Chain A
């Protein structure tokens, strides 16, 4: 694999993140650009994948409206999940044809990278067969949900670094009952690294696990330019603050 381009996008509403992803998927499948790893910082949002198995909300819709939490139905795999501050959301826009179009291997490689990241923090994370994602002694610390269009992947993973875990009480995460979510901060307390450090570690492990020869970091402007989309205007200052 040649080069992986990673990019911390800064604060980005979910809707705009989706727009950027879809445009980059098009550019990737047309061969105009290489593989990308995007890290948006989303305001609190609930997203639902294809065929949610159950009634997965634990509160009335009105409560979500009052809290200002938007909901999106997206074409990724998996059930309902929450994204928001303190969570490392990673979108992997990779050409899967170069990876033999092996979808399960792709999921396992994502898990492997996240486990390596957590093990680097002395957190003994692992998998639970049949329940894709990353677990820490019975609690879930990272979720995975992927979509594939023209054999290019998008969406990806969400690793809980230091989110307010109360948000997960709004839903049955991933449609699973009685699932407790945890985070790096919940386990490590004051020794927990910040989002930026976890982002760098995760990216390095992903680049290694997926076998890239090189990894480079791009500014958000480059991602938007490559996608042929314009960044939401009011966010430019916030983006620079994050970059």
Chain B
């Protein structure tokens, strides 16, 4: 029975790694502890030693491919076994290659593992099901939607031609995504070293192709791509005008993901794939808080502290979390235990326009008064916008709050900042007609929402928690008695 070589655990927040270099070829003899392969995650390149003496029987994941921790990447025939007798048949190998390609397509950022966890503040990420399974069951266990493996599959030795090998992985990825043929790319004049076609060259080409399809497309494709060009003899009128308008500027623009955007995308998908997202909603009359803030904001401003509503939300959330500790925690990386946290590091979603969302957290909020919270909220948000966060700021969060109200929303269904198990959504405070003592009166109302992981937080718990938060906002004097 050959040994399965898998991507090992590389740290609490490391969910995936990229095969950067195979140090041995199929058929090579290796000693125990001899380096087999290099795996890269973030800015670290790790040599993975052989677990035993033997012969490398198969390589199932090619260089440049990103796979989840625990994924099998090769098999080793141990002493006494013949390589040919291993079950790693070409068919199994091909299947593995295809699925790893999909994994790559789904998670294109080779250096994204840590960052993806970090982009939304995080500790262990429950890597969804990646057991060191048998070769037969493994491809199916990858949590990746089945898709058609394209011919231009970034870096798979099996179907990469020598011409393609000259192209960087990112170029090949764009070719795959934009359906660009190899013949088209080889026709581009590359600006890279020795005329290599770079990513920028390809993007530029794609833009010009979108604008002038007939001119840019190679001969083979031009027959179908050719548009009717309004000739002098052709009918003028709206058709011609429409064509002219199109030609004036590209109707579509390809904007490659920034690294931060990729991390956000990965983390959002991860959150939606792992947590059993459920939402419920409540509302709070905010008259007391509005009055408190109106009174205190000018006073604090003279001390240089800007008082927003967020410190009140944090206070209310922390007190409710202390009453319902189960909401303040995370699911273990293995996904089989709940880690209940006895400290309250509250993550705050900070929008940064084009730079993308980030969720740094305020430490030990249970030990801080409202003024301290106000100061630190402002500082944290300012540093997040100025790229001045420290690693600690985005690690170790226990619960998060997101305020879509600052942009005008009156309700939202927020995505949980996994591996946390719940997130509180707060919104715009709006004067609304409500019934008080049988009378219709206007009151400043706010909807509150909670997104929770129904694997560990039951609806009953989530509703009770959210109700308590609203109650504490409606009657802040409760803080006197219970906080």
Contact = CB atoms under 8 A, between A and B. Distances in A.
Interface of A: 49-55, 57, 60-61, 75-78, 100-108, 111-112, 115, 124-133, 135, 137-138, 144-150, 153, 177
Given A129-B389, A130-B109, 6 more contacts: A49-B45, A51-B21, A76-B43, A112-B390, A127-B390, A147-B44
Contacts, number: 160
Contacts of B192: 55
Nearest to B392: A112
A146 B49 contact: no
B9 interface: yes
Contact of B41 (A54, A103, A124, A144): A103
Given A126-B387, A130-B260, A138-B387, A53 B170 contact: yes
Contacts of A49: 43, 45
Nearest to B14: A104
A196 B437 CA distance: 75
B387 A103 contact: no
Interface residues of B, number: 58
Contacts of A133: 43
6 contacts: A51-B20, A78-B43, A103-B46, A105-B12, A126-B390, A130-B111
B388 A129 contact: no
A229 B258 CA distance: 44
B45 A130 contact: no
Given A77-B42, A146-B43, A55 B193 contact: yes
Contact of B11 (A60, A78, A102, A147): A102
Given A51-B20, A51-B64, A54-B168, A130 B43 contact: no
B205 to A, nearest CB: 15
Contacts of A129: 115, 118-119, 260, 263, 358, 389, 394
A126 B263 CA distance: 18
Contacts of A145: 43, 45
B40 interface: yes
A108 B64 CA distance: 24
A53 B169 contact: yes
Nearest to B168: A54
B38 interface: yes
B141 interface: no
Interface string B390-404: 111011000000000
Nearest to B170: A53
A49 B18 CA distance: 13
Contacts of B227: none
Contacts of A53: 110, 168-170
Contacts of A77: 20, 40-45, 111
B10 interface: yes
Contacts of B21: 50-51, 75
Contact of A61 (B13, B35, B38, B193): B193
B75 interface: no
B294 interface: no
A73 B295 CA distance: 63
Given A54-B170, A135-B387, A148 B13 contact: no
Contacts of B395: 108
B482 to A, nearest CB: 36
B477 interface: no
A57 B49 CA distance: 33
